[in-house]
Chain A
């Protein structure tokens, strides 16, 4: 339960970080909060030759909020995002999902962007990035590029990023007008990896009828996906919509796996239950915002 030997650098600038990553080659791994990476090292599930610790790199610890959305720097800890009132006003899903990320002591250290780059399908923020149609900005020796969530996630713990690259920020789009969100999960112990989690966005039309319903799940499937549940409830008045129909539709769309913690069937059941529950809450919020 100790990490295998590695080499360590803690560059003071982004350029230096990229230079070390280039020089150290494929065996180098970026270390930010380390709350997922260090357990992997200690359990010897990963043994990178070099860790490039970006914690000393300046300029990566801010949350920028505009009308378009929220841009979260690579060194913003989960707890900082959780407490960011301006970010929560533009995209309430951020605080709601972050509150479910691990335990307070882990949120003090873990970073939101790191958990996205880690691409764990049990992570909340990968799913929130998808649901908010988000993207990440990646620094490479050839310059910065933006990668949308669909192009980022390739498989469990696998992104499309190769070669020397540092994810410097993640961008989450703002909640559209007349919309509401909710996030809920079922876990063995609050703060543990979710057996199943659900984030939803409900958008109403100008007559307070359901115009769009989208959902994304945690610990369901190999990569984050966004499911369109609009057909189950489209055109229904917000107060009279049958959210269980959307839950039933969601159950047919997901393809969960079985593992030690839950069978695929149980996860599918939870998808239905959590969808119905979160949609009711999101719809109430949407109705409030549409009023």
Chain B
């Protein structure tokens, strides 16, 4: 069998739990596909070469830079964007993820451009760890070190990580 060589493909991807289909040029970055083809503009595009982290989304649960993946590479996979971070509550509203709550509580955003990337990175980082274990400064630095924010100076973002971790420990 010979592999097909294409300039355009139709992909099926589960985005925030919903199966979506899109026909995209093969050079379409995942970040652009989410924003332009699927209308999910919560994922922000900053540097477009993997430095700023603003476009971070989860692919099969792991944080990745969506500007460093092609849309065709997520065919058949599950993508979570910032729009999928809150959960539906029983009354038809939404429950914010503890990291989103913590960003609000700690004033961890100013202009908000970098926020979706931080939220996805931190949510994945905290969701994967044992909430009972003490969260060290080094762990926090490592978690957020790949994301750039030009407004806040990071102090409140780091505060929010601790705040979210404490909430998650309480609720475990």
Query: Which residue numbers of B lie inside 8 Å of A, CB to CB?
Result: 1-7, 9, 25-27, 29, 32, 48-50, 53, 56, 59, 62-65, 67-70, 72-73, 121, 125, 141-143, 145-146
Classify the secondary structure of B's interface with A.
Answer: mixed
Once A53-B73, A109-B65, A189-B145 are accepted as A-B contacts, the answer to whether A10 and B3 lie under 8 Å apart by CB is yes
Tell me whether A2 and B29 are in contact in the complex, defined as CB-CB below 8 angstroms, given that A8-B72, A106-B146 are known contacts.
yes
Interface residues of A (CB under 8 A from B): 1-12, 16-17, 19-20, 23-24, 34-35, 38-39, 41-43, 50-51, 53, 55, 102-106, 108-109, 189-191
Asked if A19 and B2 sit within 8 Å, CB to CB, the answer is yes
B9, B59, B64, B67 — which one has the most chain A CB atoms within 10 A of its CB? B64
State the Cβ distance, B68 to closest chain A Cβ, in Å.
5
Whether the pair A106, B5 counts as a contact (CB closer than 8 A) is: no
Do A105 and B56 have beta carbons less than 8 Å apart?
Answer: yes
**Chain B CB within 10 A, most for which of A2, A3, A20, A38:** A38
Out of A2, A8, A102, which one reaches B32, CB within 8 Å?
A2
Chain B's nearest CB lies how many Å from the CB of A285?
21
Contact, CB under 8 Å: B70 / A103: no
Instruction: Kindly list chain A residues whose C-beta atoms are within 8 Å of the C-beta of B72.
Output: 8, 10, 53
8 Å CB contact of A38 from B7, B59, B69: B69
Q: Does B141 contact A104, Cβ atoms closer than 8 Å?
A: no
**Which of the residues A4, A20, A35, A108 comes within 8 Å of B50, measured between beta carbons?**
A35
Q: Which of B4, B5, B65, B121 gathers the greatest number of chain A CB atoms within 10 Å?
A: B5
A8 and B48 within 8 A (CB): no
Give the complex CA separation of A53 and B49 in angstroms.
19
| B7 lies within 8 A of A8 (CB) | yes
B62 touches A108 (CB 8 A): yes
Is the CB–CB distance between A105 and B3 below 8 Å?
no
Is the pair A5, B27 in contact by a Cβ cutoff of 8 Å? yes
Residue of A11, A23, A34, A191 near B68 (CB, 8 A) is A34
